[in-house]
């Protein structure tokens, strides 16, 4: 039996490669003769740059990957490496966080002569509507008094005028591509503020004020740039960084699909009996384009079954409609303080338990761990 192990990172505890290794250990302990192919993946979030470096080769310089593919020479920027939630420099109040470091990385790519820049959006700590990116690239943003605003959410809250005339002229000849599986627009109940703001530190009693400011920010930006993109799918990605990049003409593609293609997923899944995927926490958002859902859809194209083994699982009925087996690796009563340190052991144990059922031929069993 051939098993293709294709997990995402378990955020905060395991890289995708570590997750695949734990799954492999668990399955092998029960099915030593199984053919196991480990293919750790990402969807534009944490680990994307390292996976594409392994798949495409190239050189990592600073926080950028410079590589070549069948399209040509490109530079890749991973937002999680620069403005990720787990970074020490992002442990500021959410109103003091901004996307300026992404703008600096774009300038570094331009300085290197690259004309194809790809930005992986997942895992950001910011909700500044991309203001930091734009100001770092030369866009003027001022307040009521005509003074430049800070390059963070505080600045976005005070912005009244946007002037793109000072932006780096090299941006006009560069191709920009967004790698993301987020479908949220910038504003509204499904937008960047209401959906992702609370995860990044915006309090419930602050949401209305921030949402109002985001709508105003979007309006003055669209007027200044002469485009209408705030309602586009994905504009709300990375706290509105997707919106700012779309103002600059960036195209958006599936981050998961891009990484899977680069890693040769289709060739591997065509000969597999099972695909095993997973992430730290699977919930309703998983089915809106996150990596495990994309993996399951692609496996279905080849009539290959998919098992989801994640740390936590909610929305069970919905999950069971999209995956042939759904497993939560973390027991409900497990000590919270040990979850991160024991993540590999728990994942290995869950994979072994699933393999035990699979090996027994009891295909109708329901596994909850």
- DSSP per-residue codes, 181-194: -----SSSTTSIII
Residue 92 scores a pLDDT above 90: yes
Q: Which of 315, 323, 322 is nearest to 354 (CA)?
A: 323
Q: What would the mean pLDDT of 273-297 be, rounded to a whole number?
A: 92
Judgement on whether residues 107 and 174 belong to the same structural domain of the protein: yes
- pLDDT (0 to 100) of residue 69: 92
Check: CB of residue 245 under 8 Å from CB of residue 176: yes
- Assess if residue 368 is contained within a domain: no
Is residue 268 located within the same domain as residue 212? no
Q: Point out the domain boundary residue: 238, 253, 268.
A: 253
Q: Band of the pLDDT at 333, cuts 50, 70, 90?
A: confident
Question: What is the average per-residue pLDDT within 310-335?
Answer: 92
Q: Is residue 225 part of a domain?
A: yes
Residue 183 lies in a domain: yes
Confirm whether 37 is domain-assigned: yes
Ranges 137-141, 290-294, 315-319, most confident: 137-141
Looking at the structure, tell me whether residues 189 and 108 fall in a common domain. yes
Do residue 94 and residue 16 come from a single domain?
A: no
**Per-residue pLDDT, 366:** 47
| Position 87 confidence tier, pLDDT thresholds 50, 70, 90 | very high
Q: Quick one: pLDDT band at residue 369, thresholds 50, 70, 90?
A: very low
Instruction: Give the residue with greater pLDDT, 85 vs 220.
Output: 220
On whether both 276 and 237 belong to a single domain, the answer is: no
Pair (215, 79) in one structural domain? yes
Asked if residue 75 and residue 151 are part of one domain, the reply reads yes
3-state secondary structure of 4: strand
> Which domain does 266 fall in, by range?
2-41+256-360
- Within this chain, do residues 275 and 153 fall inside the same structural domain, yes or no? no
Q: Could you tell me the pLDDT band of residue 362, with boundaries at 50, 70 and 90?
A: low
- 215-236 mean pLDDT: 98
Between 64 and 333, the more confident residue is 64
365 belongs to a structural domain: no
- Over residues 144-164, the mean pLDDT reads 98
The whole-number pLDDT of residue 360 equals: 79
Give the CA count within 13 Å in the CB-facing half-sphere of 199. Answer: 16
pLDDT class for 126, splitting at 50, 70, 90? very high
Chain-centroid distance, C-alpha 191: 16
Query: What's the structural domain count of the chain?
Result: 2
Q: Quick one: pLDDT at residue 248?
A: 98
- The answer, yes or no, to whether residue 364 has pLDDT greater than 80, is no
Confirm whether 157 is domain-assigned: yes
Q: Going by C-beta distance under 8 Å and a sequence separation of 6 or more, which residues neighbour residue 137?
A: 103, 106, 107, 167, 168, 171, 248
Residue 365: the pLDDT is: 43
- CATH, residue 56: 3.90.1510.10
Among 236, 253, 270, identify where a domain stops. 253
Q: Which residues contact 344 (CB under 8 A, 6 or more apart)?
A: 13, 14, 18, 19, 21, 22
Residue 325 lies inside a defined structural domain of this protein: yes
Residue 101 CA to residue 338 CA, distance in Å, equals: 33
- The residue written with tokens 């999209």 in the block is 322
Specify the higher pLDDT residue, 175 or 290.
Answer: 175
Domain boundary among 253, 274, 303: 253
Residue 53 sits in the same domain as residue 168: yes
The confidence band for 367, taking pLDDT boundaries of 50, 70 and 90, is very low
Within this chain, do residues 115 and 264 fall inside the same structural domain, yes or no?
no
Residues 168, 115 share a domain = yes
E strand residue ranges, 223-292: 251-253, 274-277, 281-282
Q: What is the pLDDT of residue 363?
A: 52
Mean confidence (pLDDT) of the chain: 94
> In this structure, is residue 327 part of a structural domain?
yes
In this structure, the answer to whether residues 267 and 325 fall within a common structural domain is yes
CATH classification at residue 356: 3.40.50.10350
Mean pLDDT, rounded, for 168-177: 97
- % of the chain exceeding 70 in pLDDT: 98
């Amino acid at each position: 039996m051939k098993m293709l192990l294709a997990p995402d990172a378990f955020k905060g505890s395991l890289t995708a490669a570590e997750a695949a290794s734990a799954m492999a250990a668990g399955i092998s302990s029960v099915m030593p003769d199984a053919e196991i192919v480990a293919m750790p993946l990402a969807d534009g979030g944490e680990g994307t740059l390292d996976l594409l470096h392994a798949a495409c080769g190239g050189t990592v310089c600073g926080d950028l990957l410079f590589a070549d593919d069948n399209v040509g020479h490109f530079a890749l920027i991973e937002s999680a490496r620069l403005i990720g939630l787990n970074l020490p420099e992002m442990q500021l109040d959410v109103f003091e966080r901004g996307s300026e470091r992404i703008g600096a990385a774009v300038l570094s790519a331009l300085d290197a002569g690259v004309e194809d820049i790809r930005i992986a959006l997942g895992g950001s700590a910011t909700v500044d509507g991309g203001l930091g990116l734009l100001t770092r690239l030369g866009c003027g943003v001022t307040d009521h008094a005509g003074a430049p605003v800070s390059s963070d959410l505080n600045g976005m809250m005070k912005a009244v005028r946007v002037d793109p005339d000072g932006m780096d002229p090299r941006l006009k000849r560069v191709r920009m591509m967004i790698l993301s599986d987020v479908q949220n627009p910038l504003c509204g109940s499904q937008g960047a503020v209401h959906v992702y703001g609370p995860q990044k530190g915006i309090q419930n009693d602050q949401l209305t004020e921030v949402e109002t400011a985001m709508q105003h920010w979007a309006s003055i930006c669209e007027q200044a740039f002469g485009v209408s993109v705030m309602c586009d799918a994905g504009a709300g990605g990375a706290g509105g960084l997707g919106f700012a990049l779309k103002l600059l003409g960036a195209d958006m593609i599936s981050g998961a699909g891009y990484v899977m293609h680069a890693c040769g997923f289709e060739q591997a899944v065509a000969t597999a009996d099972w695909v095993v995927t997973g992430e730290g926490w699977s919930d309703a958002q998983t089915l809106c384009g996150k990596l495990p859902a994309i993996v399951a859809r692609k496996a279905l194209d080849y009539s290959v079954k998919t098992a989801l083994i994640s740390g936590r699982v909610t929305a069970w009925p919905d999950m069971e409609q999209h995956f042939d087996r759904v497993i939560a690796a973390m027991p409900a009563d497990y000590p919270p303080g040990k979850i991160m340190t024991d993540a590999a052991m728990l994942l290995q144990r869950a994979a072994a338990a699933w393999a035990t059922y699979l090996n027994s031929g009891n295909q109708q069993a329901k596994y909850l761990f």
